[in-house]
Amino acid sequence: MTRSEDLFNQAQTMIPGGVNSPVRAFKSVGGTPRFIQSAKGATITDVDGNTYLDYVGSWGPMIVGHTHPDVVEAIRSAAGRGSSYGAPTEAEITLAQKIIEVVPSVEMVRLVNSGTEATMSALRLARGATGRDAILKFEGCYHGHADSLLVAAGSGAATFGVPSSPGVPEATAKDTLTLPFNDLEAVEKLFSKQGSEIAAIIVEPVAGNMGCILPKPGYLQGLRRICSKHGAILIFDEVMTGFRVALGGAQAVYDVQPDLITLGKVIGGGLPVGAYGGRKDLMEQISPAGPIYQAGTLSGNPLATAAGLATLNLICEPGFYDRVGAATKRLVDGFSSIFTKAGVAHVCAQQGTMFGLFFTDQNSVDNFAHSAACDGKRFNRWFHGMLDAGVYLAPSAFEAGFVSGAHDETVIDKTLEAAEKVAGKI
């Protein structure tokens, strides 16, 4: 028995499913999750001493690579001054200023503790500002585990075939409307009937929880137009895409300005963090400036703030996104070429430093139904083959992959060498 197997057996007696977040359990792909002991650069090492090239990157935050010395030193220095104060710090202002400088739509920002908290708070703000109850989300888009958002969710919910969760009251779910991603006509029809009831549209501008699915040309622009016409709030959930697909997020890539955005992952440099921000007239309605309540004991935590600032300073260096984006493209193009030679039907997608792989004979993958129709058994064989070859991919076909600044040419070459050996066997 491996050490990971032993730890997993122990964990299942004390932690539900043996993990503290569902997709980590390997239930979708089978087998035993690897218990990680350490990480450095583009690699992670498990408790059995196996080192893997890592394309999960803690599900996105590790954009500069694991244990980057600047980030480690920032955390160490901050910890030496105190881990939490429950009072304001200058670093919170500095991080807020950095976000406002870089993200086009943000005039004010509030720091919170997770992506879930950010989306939950942004929706409360949208409902409070409009006086409306209904929200529109899209099938397969995951916005955290708040009750009103666990309807037709992606990611872990999709992995286990549970689009909604027990424990979510019908009264809560009824105000969450769902439509297929990338179907603008369906949105127009819904708003023509119920537009006056809908407080907000919330969307992952590049979907990362049903694989990596890009918006069709004009789709995000259409959502912007519909919200403006009907007085609804457009919320971009950029917890994953923020600082991942580009320095200014997906809104900078697609030139669409939402009213509110949610952020997380990268802005904490690997520590727990979230944020929501946007138009000043909306954000000033948040307590204590306004009547809409939201609070958090650890919001603006000095350790997360320090790690986030160090990370943002690194990714703002000239050429960072060109270099990492090129590495991601080389990886994805390499996968596609290898699959084609092996006769494996597939679709690959990439935006910035995110990528997705779909085993399908469809010409494109545009929504959750397309993603769910892909060959899950082939994905499982691919995942385990790559894991055995020393490459750690997301243990779910519904998750995006991530490349970091530590994924140099040597790392990409080794990954493609492994892929070439595995592709013919899946």
Catalytic residues: 142, 237, 265
Number of C-alpha atoms within 13 angstroms, CB side, residue 121? 29
What single-letter DSSP state applies at residue 393?
A: -
Integer Cα distance of 148 and 137 in angstroms: 10
Coil, strand, or helix at residue 385? helix
Integer Cα distance of 420 and 355 in angstroms: 18
Q: Which helix (H) or strand (E) holds 164?
A: none
Integer Cα distance of 159 and 154 in angstroms: 8
What single-letter DSSP state applies at residue 400?
A: -
Query: 């979907």: which residue's tokens?
Result: 207
**Residue (of 325, 326, 346, 323) closest to 335 by Cα position:** 346
Ordered alpha helix ranges (H), 161-230:
170-173, 184-194, 219-230
What single-letter DSSP state applies at residue 158?
A: H
What single-letter DSSP state applies at residue 279?
A: -
Answer yes or no: are the C-beta atoms of 48 and 390 closer than 8 Å.
no
Q: Which residues of 284-299 are buried (b: 16+ CB within 10 A; e: fewer)?
A: eebeeeeebebeeebb
Q: What angle do CA 285, 291, 293 make, to 5 degrees?
A: 95
Q: Per-residue DSSP letters for 99-150?
A: HHHHSTT-SEEEEES-HHHHHHHHHHHHHHHHT--EEEEETT----S-GGG-
Structure tokens at 3: 């050490």
Q: Residue 22 corresponds to which amino acid?
A: P
Integer Cα distance of 67 and 34 in angstroms: 19
- The CA dihedral of 81, 86, 88, 92, to the nearest 10 degrees, is 70
